[in-house]
């Protein structure tokens, strides 16, 4: 989501209570599981998108003991036998398969609309225009660079006197350059929306990519410079000149990146909350016409502004004034071309994909219809979602899912009294926060309107710009108004979920409420292991290292006593140290501080869901696929995370993503849980039994 200051905590990309150990008999022996033969990977076209069951014995690797490496044990046969489709950088048994199925359904909907079957479908004509123009590759190729010429010309009107107007014109059409302005809830008054200034405008994944000097990062740097060079050549510069311009733009971006806040500090809301009025912003960063810029963006100069990254904004005027004007123009051209290359003719699209390959290892670009489905979902998601919901869960699926969420929340309430490190004063406020959480399931209570979005048949580039401008105007129109607590920040077909600390809400779109995460016919123990863990994960985000700093109303305030905060921090450091020791690829360690929030959420999520399962008479007595209910629960959890990914993508995620790789999202939390050890009769000293277990909630 493009505009929020605090990243909403999503399952892509819990809290652990001190559960009492108990003596139990070893689980009954299960029928032996045949080890699946190693198969030759099939071509991408043969990958099956059939809905996976919650627990599947055929994907288990019997040769790897459960207590040695549960991820490999639960997923090993699937990992060996499942190729990564050529058009993907990673492939999971859950997210990827569901996403492909959802796209097929969305494609069918859009093809119906394109065949003029728009009667009764809100904004059906607009969606048909957007999809149809995107699908017309020959028309896109014929136009070459022409659609972008107006934007490039606007960048070249830049003078020292009109910098603010020029940036506003580009920002208003979704072109990132130098910084970004959007709305955010006031951190100290979550009922009110204010403006938010963010750092931005670089082409590498994040700031550290400009300064890390290991061999793999240098390859990515070289690929990005080559990408810039290709784009400038395609834009009409001679090869030598394109190479020179690309090198200069790269160095300018490196200078921009130097004062940027790093990825660890960006996770700290205390560091990213700096509310001020326009006069203070102008005092912080003099020399830029902030008043002119706000007027051009149609934002009142009287509204408060949060400066998320003070150091960067403070350094910005010097960059804007000291860099040679021709270089700044080239930088703006680079921002336009890199932002829109995939929407231009094939040579530009090819250049964008070559850079993507260097980052992710993806072999081929997605087939055109998938990209166009994605465009409509990104641009008009709540219009496309209406027929999608009608053809999938429908509104009738909400009640059963809501009951699962309530059972997870009951687990959290049940364990709060047992936390010896939490004092009564803080505990009472924790109860308040859990009970105040708002749960949103399947779809928004009110659909977003796309009135005023002007789209044209046959004008793909223009439609993309129009959709960007429409959404940017919608976002900025929120500034100075009350927070809309009914708004969703994901499209209902998305295979994801999130917790928003500033509204204290959890959202579970229809897209994720499908097998293997959830199915009404699954054993309840399997549903709780898969989607129940997701629910517990999102709930725990309200109490992770970031979320715990917000109260029941979503305000950034210290509601913890010093002793209680100390107890939390000591336990969180255990998790940091645990994940710092994991090495997913080559010599690249997981960054325990970057991934702390997600690791805490995984740890708490599985623990809360397990408690809910054991508290449910039906779930705690019924297993699946010949396993005990407890084993079923853990298999369903692990098998929903089975993932193959290309080495390039794994490196990218480890360096930039706050989520740990799939293997460690399974083995990391489970190795801390006595419940897992009991379910599989693991013994001290085995890899899945941590001697000094980490426990928070």
Q: Are 74 and 638 in contact (CB under 8 A)?
A: yes
Residue 2 inside a domain? The answer is no
- Counting the structural domains of the chain, the total is 1
Active site includes 451?
no
Question: Strands 505-509, 438-442: parallel, antiparallel or unpaired by DSSP?
Answer: parallel
pLDDT value, residue 395: 55
Residue 55 inside a domain? The answer is no
Coil, strand or helix: which one is 597? helix
Residue 283 inside a domain? The answer is yes
Residue 241 inside a domain? The answer is yes
Residue 309 inside a domain? The answer is yes
Residue 592 inside a domain? The answer is no
pLDDT value, residue 392: 80
Q: How far apart are CA 37 and CA 60, in angstroms?
A: 11
**Catalytic pick among 538, 546, 551, 675:** 538
CATH number at residue 216: 1.10.1380.10
Ranges of the chain whose pLDDT falls below 50:
1-7, 13-49
pLDDT digit string, tens, across residues 229-240: 999 999 999 999
Place of tokens 């065949």: 115
Domain that holds residue 198: 145-343
pLDDT digit string, tens, across residues 171-212: 999 999 999 999 999 999 999 999 999 999 999 999 999 999
Residue 602 inside a domain? The answer is no
Q: 655: which 2 tokens?
A: 């360096």
Q: How far apart are CA 452 and CA 433, in angstroms?
A: 39
pLDDT value, residue 396: 58
Q: What is the dihedral of CA 173, 176, 178, 183, to 10 degrees?
A: 70
Q: How far apart are CA 192 and CA 63, in angstroms?
A: 57
User: Measured between alpha carbons, how far is residue 471 from residues 13, 381, 479 in Å?
Assistant: 24, 12, 14
Active site includes 602?
yes
**Catalytic pick among 165, 229, 551, 602:** 602
| 543: nearest Cα among 518, 519, 560 | 560
Residue 224 inside a domain? The answer is yes
Q: How far apart are CA 95 and CA 494, in angstroms?
A: 9
pTM of the model: 0.92
pLDDT value, residue 10: 61
Angle between helices 662-670 and 70-81 (to 10 degrees): 160
Exposure of 62 by Cβ count < 10 A (0-12 exposed, 13-18 middle, 19+ buried)? Answer: middle
| Edge-to-edge strand list for the sheet holding 498-500 | 9-10, 498-500, 505-509, 438-442
Q: CB count, 10 Å around CB of 88?
A: 24
């Amino acid at each position: 989501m493009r505009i929020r200051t605090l990243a909403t905590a999503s399952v892509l990309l819990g809290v652990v209570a001190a559960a009492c150990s108990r003596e139990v008999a070893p689980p009954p022996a299960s029928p032996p599981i045949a080890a699946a033969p190693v198969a030759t990977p099939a071509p991408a076209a043969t990958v099956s998108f059939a809905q996976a069951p919650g627990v599947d014995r055929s994907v288990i690797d019997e040769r790897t003991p459960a207590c040695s490496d549960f991820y490999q044990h639960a997923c090993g046969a699937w990992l060996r036998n499942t190729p990564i489709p050529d058009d993907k950088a990673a492939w999971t048994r859950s997210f990827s398969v569901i996403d492909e199925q959802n796209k097929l359904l969305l494609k069918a909907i859009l093809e119906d609309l394109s065949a003029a079957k728009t009667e009764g479908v809100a904004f059906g004509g607009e969606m048909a225009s957007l999809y149809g123009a995107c699908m017309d590759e020959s028309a896109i190729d014929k136009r070459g660079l022409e659609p972008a010429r107006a934007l490039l010309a606007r960048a070249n009107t830049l003078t020292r006197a009109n910098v603010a107007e020029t940036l506003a014109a580009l920002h208003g059409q979704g072109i990132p350059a130098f910084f970004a302005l959007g709305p955010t809830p006031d951190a100290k008054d979550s009922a009110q929306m204010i403006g938010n200034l963010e750092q931005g405008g670089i082409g590498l994944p994040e700031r550290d990519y400009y300064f890390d000097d290991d061999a793999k990062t240098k390859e990515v740097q070289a690929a990005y410079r080559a990408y810039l060079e290709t784009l400038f050549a395609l834009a009409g510069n001679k090869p030598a000149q394109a190479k020179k311009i690309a090198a200069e733009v790269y160095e300018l971006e490196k200078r921009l990146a130097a004062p940027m806040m790093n990825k660890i500090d960006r996770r700290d809301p205390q560091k990213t909350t700096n509310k001020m009025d326009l006069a203070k912003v102008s005092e912080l960063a003099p020399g830029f016409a902030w008043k002119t810029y706000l007027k051009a963006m149609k934002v009142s100069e009287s509204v408060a502004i949060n400066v998320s990254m003070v150091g960067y904004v403070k350094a910005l005027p010097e960059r804007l004034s000291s860099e040679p004007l021709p270089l700044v123009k080239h930088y703006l051209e680079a921002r336009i071309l890199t932002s829109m290359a995939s929407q231009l003719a094939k040579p530009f699209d090819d250049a964008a994909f070559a850079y993507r390959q260097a980052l992710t290892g993806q072999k081929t670009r997605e087939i055109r219809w998938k990209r166009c489905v994605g465009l409509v979902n990104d641009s008009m998601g709540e219009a496309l979602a209406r027929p999608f919901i009608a053809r999938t869960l429908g509104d009738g699926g909400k009640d059963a899912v809501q009951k699962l969420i309530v059972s997870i929340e009951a687990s959290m309430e049940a364990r709060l009294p047992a936390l010896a490190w939490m004092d009564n004063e803080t505990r009472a406020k924790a109860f308040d926060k859990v009970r105040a959480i708002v749960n949103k399931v399947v779809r928004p209570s009110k659909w977003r309107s796309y009135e005023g979005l002007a789209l044209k048949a046959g004008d793909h580039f223009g439609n993309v710009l129009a959709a960007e401008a429409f959404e940017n105007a919608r976002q900025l129109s929120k500034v100075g108004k009350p927070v809309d607590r009914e708004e969703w920040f994901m499209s209902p077909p998305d295979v994801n979920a999130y917790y928003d600390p500033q509204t204290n809400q959890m959202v579970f779109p229809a897209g994720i409420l499908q097998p293997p995460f959830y199915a009404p016919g699954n054993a309840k123990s399997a549903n709780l292991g898969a989607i129940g863990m997701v629910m517990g994960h999102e709930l725990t985000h309200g109490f992770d290292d970031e979320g715990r700093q917000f109260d029941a109303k979503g305000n950034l305030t210290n509601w913890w006593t010093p002793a209680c905060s100390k107890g939390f921090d000591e336990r969180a450091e255990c998790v940091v140290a645990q994940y710092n020791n994991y090495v997913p690829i080559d010599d690249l360690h997981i960054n325990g501080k970057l991934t702390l929030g997600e690791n805490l959420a995984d740890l708490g999520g599985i623990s809360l869901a397990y408690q809910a399962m054991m508290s449910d008479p039906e779930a705690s007595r019924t297993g699946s696929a010949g396993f005990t209910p407890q084993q079923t629960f853990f298999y369903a959890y692990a098998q929903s995370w089975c993932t193959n990914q290309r080495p390039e993508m794994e490196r990218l995620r480890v360096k930039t993503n706050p989520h740990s790789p799939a293997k460690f999202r399974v083995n990391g939390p489970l190795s801390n849980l006595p419940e897992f050890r009991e379910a599989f009769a693991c013994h001290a000293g085995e890899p899945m039994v941590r001697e000094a277990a980490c426990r928070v909630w």
